[in-house]
Amino acid sequence: MAVPCVAVPRERGETARQSLIEADALAEAYEIDVENGTIYIPVDPAAVPEGLHDALTERELPHRNQQTTPADLLDTEPSIERLGDIVILDEDDLDQARKIAQAVMDSDLPCETVLNRASPIEGELRVREWDILAGSETETVHREYGYGYVLDVADVFFSPRLATERRIVTERVQQGEHVFDMFAGVGPFAIPAADRGADVVACDLNERAIAYLEENARRNDVAGRVEARQGDVRDISAEWAGWADRIVMNLPHSADEFLETAVRLAGDDCTIHYYDITDTAAPFTPGETAIEETAAEYTVSFTDQRMVRSYAPGQQNIRIDARLQRDTWLTMIVRNPIRWGHQRLPELWPTHDTGRFPGRSCRPVPARCKTFRLWEPSAHRRPSPSVTTLSGSKHSECLFPLSGKTW
């Protein structure tokens, strides 16, 4: 029979499937089909997210072979979370947790271990205690959007619930960017960013997390683009001062304590992905205020705000994307009259760059017949440099504000 489904190119299939899962729109009674590079995902059309409405169609799809689920054995749908071949519960009643664990193991759900959360996330390393209800191994391989991450939940922090959020952020990474992940864990931001062609520095205080990150970089063939550093990011930031084009700050409860470090890492044009836990009444205001105050030397603009997920009653896990831009001033000696906008200069000698390379003198090198467009990025208007005519010469010495990579 013809079944409502979403049809998308195969390379977008996993992204679409995750969106449909979050919207509870999958029609699980039918099989997913693939033909000629298009994947057909059965759906409940009433629940399909707006962004996929244009992809709705109908197609003959076979019924899925019904498997026994934990819900079939319990006559109720348990709240479970899957991480590789580990099933995670969050039950206060230990007897109920054991009952669910037995149903999970007796079902057709692929599972080797069932764990129940026994404590909140604690300490600087962001780990928790677990009750092992079935199986014995706490190490697993979790797969997410084509990447595999090996990790031990007893030793490192990892949340599969943030898969879509990580995908949204890393899809914005551009080839050749410098990305600094300040709290990298086992690499779920760093590895996709490196796979998109970025050079990545990934830092974490947890020694075990860094060991897994290095292994995961090798597993995903990006080891050559990821430098893993173990330690407090505040202690190593001087080595990377002014380097980053993009910074990930996924430490929601205390990211504000590291804003000065993030600003130290930021280059002349840098995007910071800042995560926080805030009250729902004014979720973005505290973070935006803190960023503006800390990055006072930059022109700050906020390019995105997102409610990532509900964290607790009255609290939200949020993301703020802040773009930090700093004017770069270049002293130049030029010949011939100066014309603004697009200008052709017969000869040009750079003498001193006070922005990207503070204090570095440039040896005069002719740059013949090059066209430059000069502007002031913070004001989006033509500059008005002061011009000083050198005594006894037809040359002029000028200060020009340049944007990032104009020079």
For residue 163, is it within any domain? no
Q: Which of 205, 210, 232, 319 has its CA nearest to residue 271?
A: 319
> Are residues 45 and 85 located together in one domain of the fold?
no
> Are residues 359 and 315 located together in one domain of the fold?
no
> Are residues 129 and 6 located together in one domain of the fold?
no
Residue 89 and residue 207: Cα distance in Å, rounded? 27
Q: Which two tokens stand for residue 203?
A: 């830092």
For residue 157, is it within any domain? no
For residue 149, is it within any domain? no
Q: Of 297, 325, 353, which closes a domain?
A: 325
Residue pLDDT, tens place only, 278-313: 987 889 999 999 999 999 999 999 999 999 988 888
**Residue ranges making up the domain that contains 86:** 70-137
> Are residues 207 and 111 located together in one domain of the fold?
no
Q: Which of 202, 203, 212 has its CA nearest to residue 151?
A: 212
Residue pLDDT, tens place only, 216-233: 999 999 999 999 999 999
> Are residues 357 and 213 located together in one domain of the fold?
no
- Quick check: 363 pLDDT over 70? no
> Are residues 199 and 296 located together in one domain of the fold?
yes
Residue pLDDT, tens place only, 262-280: 999 999 999 999 999 998 7
For residue 217, is it within any domain? yes
User: CATH no. for residue 312?
Assistant: 3.40.50.150
Q: Which of 378, 381, 374 has its CA nearest to residue 398?
A: 374
> Are residues 312 and 384 located together in one domain of the fold?
no
Distance set, CA 233 to CA 345, 375, 390 (Å) = 45, 35, 47
Residue pLDDT, tens place only, 123-135: 888 889 999 999 9
User: CATH no. for residue 39?
Assistant: 3.30.70.2580
Q: Is residue 340 very low, low, confident or very high in pLDDT (cuts 50, 70, 90)?
A: very low
- Quick check: 174 pLDDT over 70? yes
For residue 185, is it within any domain? yes
For residue 30, is it within any domain? yes
The count of C-alpha atoms lying within 13 angstroms of the C-alpha of 362, restricted to the half-sphere facing its C-beta, is: 19
What confidence score (pLDDT) does residue 87 get? Answer: 95
For residue 262, is it within any domain? yes
Q: Of 268, 299, 325, which closes a domain?
A: 325
For residue 156, is it within any domain? no
The whole-model pTM stands at: 0.68
DSSP string for 360-375? EEPPP---TTEEEE--
> Are residues 127 and 198 located together in one domain of the fold?
no
Q: Of 284, 306, 325, which closes a domain?
A: 325
> Are residues 36 and 127 located together in one domain of the fold?
no
Residue 373 and residue 380: Cα distance in Å, rounded? 12
Residue 321 and residue 276: Cα distance in Å, rounded? 12
> Are residues 176 and 313 located together in one domain of the fold?
yes
Sign of CA dihedral 248, 212, 196, 167: negative
Query: Could you give the angle at the alpha carbon of 10 between the alpha carbons of 309 and 158, nearest 5°?
Result: 30
> Are residues 320 and 338 located together in one domain of the fold?
no
> Are residues 234 and 212 located together in one domain of the fold?
yes
**Radius of gyration of the chain, Cα coordinates, nearest whole angstrom:** 27
Give how many domains the chain has, as a whole number: 4
Residue 377 has what DSSP assignment? T
